[in-house]
Amino acid sequence: MPKLKPDTQRARREAILDAAEICFARSGFHRCTMHEICKEAGISPGALYVYFASKEDLIAGLAERDRSEFQERIAPIGGARD
């Protein structure tokens, strides 16, 4: 299998996280399956497991993404002075 470009890898990882977020919201964390996430993302189980080994890893990825987005939003505020 050819190696994907870093931009393609990032985009695929984000698409998987988006799909996981949708599936967790729809079914709940415990009822959601990795197969459901694969179907939502339009990828094979093998492709999913290249990026995330478990639902717990997906939750960690979602948390990290949210943290990064939050930091980006508040960064301009950090330089503000009273």
Residue 53 resides in a domain: yes
Residue 27 resides in a domain: yes
Q: Would you state the structure tokens that stand for residue 45, as one six-digit string?
A: 């189980």
Residue 71 resides in a domain: yes
How far is the C-alpha of 35 from the C-alpha of 79, rounded, in Å?
45
Residue 30 resides in a domain: yes
pTM > 0.75:
yes
Residue 17 resides in a domain: yes
Task: Write out pLDDT tens, residues 44-58.
Answer: 999 999 999 999 999
Domain total in the chain: 1
Task: Write out pLDDT tens, residues 9-54.
Answer: 999 999 999 999 999 999 999 999 999 999 999 999 999 999 999 9
Residue 1 resides in a domain: no
**What's the domain range around 52?**
6-76
18: domain CATH number is: 1.10.10.60
Residue 82 resides in a domain: no
| Residue 48 near residue 37 (C-beta atoms within 8 A) | yes
